[in-house]
Structure 1
Amino acid sequence: MNQLARLPLDDGTIDRARKLARRAGQPVVDMAKSHTTVAVERTVLRLAGLTGADGDGIPWVNRLADAVRSDVGIEHGVALPVFHALVSEGHHDLTMLAHKAAAGSLHFSIPTGKDAEAAKEAARIAVSGGIARMDAARAQRDQLIDEVGNPKQRPWIYLIVATGDIYEDIPQAQAAARAGADVIAVIRSTGQSLLDYVPEGATREGFAGTYATGENFRLMRAALDETSRELGRYIRLCNYASGLCMPEIAALAGMHRLDMMLNDCMYGILFRDINPIRTFVDQRLSRQIHARAGIIINTGEDNYLTTADAVEAAHTVTVSQLLNEYFAHEAGLPDELLGLGHAFEINPDLKDSFRMELAHAMLARQLFPDAPLKWMPPTRHMTGDVFKGNLLDGFFNLAGAMTGQGILLVGMMTEAVVTPWLSDRDIALQNVRYVLNACGGLVEDFHPPADGFIANRARFVLDEAVDLLDKIVDDGLLNAIADGTFGIMKRPADAGRGLDGVEKHAEDYYNPATELLEAGQKEAA
């Protein structure tokens, strides 16, 4: 990244922006540390080894967590009552315990004294097994990269595959990798983020995407390992850790060796109407898991610009990036795992639109020099004119080459028209290959003048971001979200899906997952 041009941005202004983001984010972190959710508690059970589902397809982690909640609530955490039952009643199997609890033949209580300590120890041992699986998967990734190598060029080429059928996704993903893709993103089935459970097993039906399940993760990762060895470069797998099961999906991804996950601080709040408190509590654990598993997160700032104007709201993207950086660092994610999002969404009919895109991209690149920024192609202003669309995608690819992006999502000229055919993807990849081959090194030569349009635009956006952060510090981030600051969506903290699954910690709350992950975070530091 040393060869990148630097804009004449004021270091004091940048430092002030980061300090304000920290002040704006700290109350949210404090809230996340003092609350739990049904998804957080189900994640504990998943890491402890509970798998499978009942005859109706409801996972046993849901059945067991619901039984605990019914008997004693979740404000103490599920670990104490569940492992007290295992230890005190001689049970040795979480699945059998879940069966009995679901049948109503077992009831839970909160242990105290020596019984509580015994339950904590049993829970720690069980959950450490799931964390050990993540550690082994991370080591396996490192070993395979050593064996076959990373892609030789940056940015990595990121391509979406999603048919609804995992067994159809696999050959399409392998074909995409052979055609040049470095990252395969399997889009989730529409609406999965609103499910308060994770489907079990391999799935063959999904609308505009494929369900995120542990078995689907395993199948796709195994197929891409074969292709990685065939091609002599490691192909990364991406999915989505968002919605009502954010930390659970993160845990499944960590244990099945996914490499990237969509994980944004506000996407589910704004665009899926998930309760803000639920989202921030779930997110903190999900990011702690990603940090331990070595998974790159991709944030969703690009989505704001599909509803708000990309020029007028440019500073809200910068503010969100700074908040995402703070939340990620607090959860233990280093810069190299922080795929901050931004997008090429300015109206192409606007004069100097490309120059403004370059200014925004350079601002993000300079603010976050060690983060593998994820650059998103145009979607909002794709009209169905596939020729113009392919040209716009070419300009997008050019902007990525000129500003040193880390992860380049392949734009489709059929965006907003149809789900892309394989031939559409091939044309899009030809576009990327041409641009990166022709001018991939242009970043070395592109040095806009210190007092020119691009530098002045970047300074203006940064100043607006600082002003907005000042207001957020005064008003509170939850109030800013409620007021429609981001993406013009108004989402109050006392509304939205999933609020009924949030509880404030009791004094004896215990979570072995956060205990173990935070201990590992301190050791790494």
Structure 2
Amino acid sequence: MTGKLDLDPVVVRKARTLARSIGRPIVRTAKAHTTTSVERATLRLGGVTGADPDGTPWVNRLTDAVQGDVGLEHGVALPAWDALVRGEAEDLVTLARKAAAGSVRFRLPEGRDLVRARSAARKQIGAGVRRIDAQRRTRERMVARIGDAPRTPWIYLIVATGDIYEDIPQAQAAARAGADVIAVIRSTGQSLLDYVPEGATREGFAGTYATQENFRLMRAALDETSRELGRYIRLTNYASGLCMPEMAAMAGLERLDMMLNDSMYGILFRDINPIRTFVDQRFSRQVHARAGIIINTGEDNYLTTADAVEAAHTVTTSQLLNEYFAKEAGLADWQLGLGHAFEIDPDVPDSFRLELAHAMLARELFPQAPLKWMPPTRHMTGDVFRGYLLDGFFNLIGSLTGQGILLVGMMTEAVVTPWLSDRDLALQNVRYVLNATGDLHEDLQPAPGGFLQRRASAVLEETVDLLQAIADHEHGLLDAIADGTFGLMKRPADAGRGMDGVVKKSAGYCNPASELLEATS
């Protein structure tokens, strides 16, 4: 699609320059802080698993104990592995048990004790990172041996019943019906839990709890189906909310392939403290970069609260910022599933042409990124026939603009949680459009100076104006978020959930996981 919109390269360069200048102070802030979830993710990479009889994970117990004794300014690694080296326990889980019972105290080691603790921590955490490396190699071997989806866009279908043992056969059925990516929607409210539930779960609310065991079970089932179908089926879950770094670590350890990962979603729609989630996002994206996981960002959510025509430039602005944050963390273009959506009111004149212009703009700005194209939700009325038609139009634009990831729209959106039969009809819609249009995007050539080119250029100009306004704020992006620039939500930097879990690093901060991941990024 490159060049079809005749975008001004000077304007495009200015947009990216502004995005970098806005993003750099956020990265500096992220580098200067840690969070309780970053430290818990570090312990998970060190091999800590399991939970106490009340369901509180041992990583939480151990992190809380270290924080209570010496704080987290130096990180959890040195005090925890110092205790192991001193013989307080034979392993980290036992250490966590003893810490929860109050039978061990932590200290900040010095001298030779510090060297020994750092060496022990780096060795054990390094083993966890190498396990992520091995899972990435396993994925690559499976794709080479079994085969991949025959074409793009990949068809992305949501499955989530609340019961992982019900999700598995539904996911396998979806793959057999044509889905290339299975997304297990997370239980409502899990993003606000400051811990990750343990084990296989059988009850959830409008979704299934994201746990490491659930990840393992679904990945194993989809591997079986991949071999059956002769194409690798990808698995998606969430690295967002208060446990974003831990979710990323678990995804890498269990070979998930995509993760929804966007700090702005948590800030705007879950009222998570901006500093907390920017710190967590950077660490989690470094894990994703190492694991070869594709991220999905949440710009489509802005259009569920703001008008999709008037706020189109906020989507592009966020995409450019997300591109900077992702690449700074080490992600490659092929891992950037930047989000956008078909959310214009269908009663607006030229709504299809506007949607087409917006989708083409995203495709041209990020030509090597897969992009995640999201179906209509806001203006689905319960009329399933109208909804099915809208989804067909959405699928057509996905084909016309060469999107990389196409989330299957459901005609029962806003009516019920889709049945298997609803998903089957939705997949039929996608398959018909993609088969019928083939490589039609090669033939799409907008009229020079016509509607599509004018609209795309106008959105890009508005994007540059907004980026400039954000750059002119005293505190840049943090001020813009506080002012309600995105999705009409106002979220100040000194408020929000999880703020008490943000810790400024000391000069002696040590985190072997961060050191290994920084080397990657």
TM-score tier by shorter-chain length is over 0.9
Contact 1:401 1:439 (8 Å CA) reproduced: yes
Aligned to 2:447: 449
Aligned to 2:172: 174
Matches within 5 A, 1:216-295: 216-295=214-293
Aligned to 1:435: 433
Give the Cα separation in 2 of the matches to 1:361 and 1:264: 20
Contact 2:157 2:181 (8 Å CA) reproduced: yes
Once the two structures are superposed, what CA deviation does each residue of 1:31-77 show, in whole Å capped at 9, x if it has no partner?
A: 00000100000011000000000000100000000000111111110
Aligned to 2:61: 63
Once the two structures are superposed, what CA deviation does each residue of 1:385-427 show, in whole Å capped at 9, x if it has no partner?
A: 0000000000000000100000000000000100000000011
Q: Match of 1:266, SS?
A: helix
Query: Which letter does structure 1 place at the counterpart of 2:278?
Result: F
- Superposed displacement of residue 109, structure 1: 0.7
Once the two structures are superposed, what CA deviation does each residue of 1:170-204 show, in whole Å capped at 9, x if it has no partner?
A: 00000000000000000000000000000000000
Q: Match of 2:424, SS?
A: helix
Among residues 446, 459, 462, which one is paired with 2:460 in the alignment? 462
Give the Cα separation in 2 of the matches to 1:37 and 1:386: 45
Contact 1:4 1:403 (8 Å CA) reproduced: no
Give the Cα separation in 1 of the matches to 2:315 and 2:353: 17
Contact 1:4 1:444 (8 Å CA) reproduced: no
Query: Which letter does structure 1 place at the counterpart of 2:28?
Result: D
- Superposed displacement of residue 111, structure 1: 1.1
TM-score after normalising by structure 1: 0.98
Aligned to 2:490: 490
Give the Cα separation in 2 of the matches to 1:46 and 1:402: 43
Give the Cα separation in 2 of the matches to 1:333 and 1:4: 22
Aligned to 1:500: 500
- Superposed displacement of residue 4, structure 1: 5.7
Give the Cα separation in 1 of the matches to 2:86 and 2:74: 18
Give the Cα separation in 2 of the matches to 1:101 and 1:128: 24
Aligned to 1:130: 128
Give the Cα separation in 2 of the matches to 1:91 and 1:177: 46
- Superposed displacement of residue 471, structure 1: 0.9
Aligned to 1:49: 47
Structure 1: runs of 5+ lacking an equivalent: none
- Superposed displacement of residue 506, structure 1: 1.0
- Superposed displacement of residue 90, structure 1: 5.6
- Superposed displacement of residue 112, structure 1: 1.7
Residues paired across the two proteins, number: 519
Once the two structures are superposed, what CA deviation does each residue of 1:232-264 show, in whole Å capped at 9, x if it has no partner?
A: 000000000000000000000000000000001
Aligned to 1:76: 74
Contact 1:375 1:407 (8 Å CA) reproduced: yes
- Superposed displacement of residue 507, structure 1: 1.2
Aligned to 1:479: 479
Contact 2:2 2:367 (8 Å CA) reproduced: no
- Superposed displacement of residue 440, structure 1: 2.7
Matches within 5 A, 1:357-436: 357-436=355-434
- Superposed displacement of residue 88, structure 1: 2.0
Aligned to 1:32: 30
Contact 1:345 1:381 (8 Å CA) reproduced: yes
Aligned to 2:146: 148
TM-score after normalising by structure 2: 0.99
Give the Cα separation in 1 of the matches to 2:146 and 2:4: 34
Among residues 310, 329, 344, which one is paired with 2:342 in the alignment? 344
Query: Which letter does structure 2 place at the counterpart of 1:454?
Result: L
Contact 1:5 1:446 (8 Å CA) reproduced: no
Among residues 321, 326, 337, which one is paired with 1:323 in the alignment? 321
Q: Match of 1:224, SS?
A: helix
Q: Match of 1:239, SS?
A: strand
Aligned to 2:7: 9
Contact 2:181 2:235 (8 Å CA) reproduced: yes
Q: Match of 1:261, SS?
A: strand
Aligned to 1:109: 107
Structure 2: runs of 5+ lacking an equivalent: none
Contact 1:265 1:324 (8 Å CA) reproduced: no
Contact 2:358 2:456 (8 Å CA) reproduced: yes
Contact 1:40 1:285 (8 Å CA) reproduced: yes
Q: Match of 1:332, SS?
A: coil
Contact 1:296 1:339 (8 Å CA) reproduced: yes
Query: Which letter does structure 1 place at the counterpart of 2:392?
Result: G
Contact 2:330 2:520 (8 Å CA) reproduced: no
- Superposed displacement of residue 114, structure 1: 1.9
Establish whether residue 193 from structure 1 lines up as the match of residue 191 from structure 2: yes
Give the Cα separation in 2 of the matches to 1:381 and 1:185: 23
Query: Which letter does structure 1 place at the counterpart of 2:253?
Result: M
Kindly, what percent of the aligned residue pairs are identical? 74
Query: Which letter does structure 2 place at the counterpart of 1:54?
Result: D
Once the two structures are superposed, what CA deviation does each residue of 1:455-513 show, in whole Å capped at 9, x if it has no partner?
A: 00000000000000001111110000000000000000010000000010111111111
Contact 2:88 2:95 (8 Å CA) reproduced: no
Give the Cα separation in 1 of the matches to 2:30 and 2:112: 29
Give the Cα separation in 2 of the matches to 1:520 and 1:327: 15
- Superposed displacement of residue 5, structure 1: 5.9
Give the Cα separation in 1 of the matches to 2:263 and 2:60: 24
Query: Which letter does structure 2 place at the counterpart of 1:295?
Result: I
Query: Which letter does structure 1 place at the counterpart of 2:339?
Result: G
Contact 1:186 1:209 (8 Å CA) reproduced: yes
Give the Cα separation in 1 of the matches to 2:87 and 2:177: 57
Once the two structures are superposed, what CA deviation does each residue of 1:133-175 show, in whole Å capped at 9, x if it has no partner?
A: 1011101101110111111111000000000000000000000
Q: Match of 2:158, SS?
A: strand
Query: Which letter does structure 1 place at the counterpart of 2:493?
Result: A
Contact 2:163 2:201 (8 Å CA) reproduced: yes
- Superposed displacement of residue 292, structure 1: 0.3
Give the Cα separation in 2 of the matches to 1:428 and 1:350: 25
